[in-house]
Amino acid sequence: MIDISVVVPTCNRAQSLAACLASIRNATQASCEVVVVDGASTDRTAIVVQRAREIMGDRLQVIREEQREGFVRAANKGFRAARGRYLIWLNDDARPLIGSLDRAVEQLAFSPRTVGMVALFHPAHVTTNIAYQAEHLGRPFHLLHVRGTLYANFGLAARSLFERLACFDERYFLHGADPDFSLKVWHAGLSVVPAFGALIDHDEVQDQRREEDRDRGADDNARLFAKWDLPEKHPSRNDFDQTHPCTLRGLRAARAA
C-alpha cells in the first residue's frame, strides 16, 4: 500500500526538478510514489526523470504531455494516475524538508473526520495575507489566507477527497487552483488546518516560463473571486482570525440565486 503520492507538474526546469525529486526521496520515510507530469519539456528533463527512475523504479510514474497544458491540467492528470492513500502537489522548484511529508500524513491520519486537508508551511514573499508563520533555521515559513479563509499552497488530503471534489478546477491555468481547492474543501463542510512542523522549501523561480504565464495568472485570480463569495479585502490590515479561519460564504452564483 502506498501511503502518499506526490504529484509534480514540470516544464523545462530540469535542474529544479532533480532537486525536488531528490528531496522527496531523501526526506520521506513513508511509502511514497512520485507522479511527474512533463509539459513537453525540451531541456534535460527526460534525463533527470530517467535517472530518478533508475533509483525509484515503479515508485516513479511519468506522464508526458504532447504540449504544455498548464499546471492545473497537469496536476489533475497526476492526481488521477496516483495510487497513494493521500495526495499532495508540489511545484517543480519545491523541496520538502526532512520528515515533513511524514508529519503531514501522520497528522491527517489521526485528525477528526471534519479535517479535510492539512496545509504545509512554505516561504512566501508577501506581507498582507499571512495566516500563520513558523521559523526554521532563522527563515520564515508561512501559510496564507484568501480574504480571511485559510488555504493550502501545498496541501495533503485523502485521495478519496480529491475524487469527491473532482480534483482541481480546470478553468484555471496556473494560479487559482490551490486556493480554489481549499475553498472547495471548506464548502464541503470540512476544514483546512495547519500542518505544524511540515515545511516545504520553495524557490519560486523567476524565469521565462513564469514571465510568459503572468497574464494568465491574473486571469486565474479574477476567476477565483468571481466564483466564490468572499469578503472584500480590508485596505489596511491583515484580516485573518485564527479562531475563525473561514470567512467563505459559498459559491457566488448560489448566493445570487
Question: Per-residue pLDDT tens for 224-251?
Answer: 999 999 999 877 777 899 999 999 999 9
- How many domains does the chain divide into? 1
Residue 257 banded pLDDT, cuts 50, 70, 90: very low
Q: Could you tell me which of 32, 45, 28, 27 has the C-alpha nearest to residue 6?
A: 32
Q: What is the pTM of this model?
A: 0.94
First to last CA, the chain: 45
Mean pLDDT, all residues of the chain: 93
Return d(Cα 166, Cα 39) in angstroms, integer: 21
For residue 206, the one-letter residue type is: Q
Q: Could you tell me which of 196, 192, 174 has the C-alpha nearest to residue 182?
A: 192
Question: Per-residue pLDDT tens for 19-38?
Answer: 999 999 999 999 999 999 99
Is the per-residue pLDDT at 72 higher than 60? yes
Residue 210 banded pLDDT, cuts 50, 70, 90: low
The C-alpha angle 244, 111, 72, rounded to 5 degrees, equals: 75
Question: Per-residue pLDDT tens for 159-175?
Answer: 999 999 999 999 998 88
Question: Per-residue pLDDT tens for 36-70?
Answer: 999 999 999 999 999 999 999 999 999 999 999 99
In degrees and rounded to multiples of 5, residue 211 shows phi and psi of: -65, -45
CA 160 to chain centre: 17
Q: Which residue range forms the structural domain that includes residue 176?
A: 4-256
| Domain at 86, CATH number | 3.90.550.10
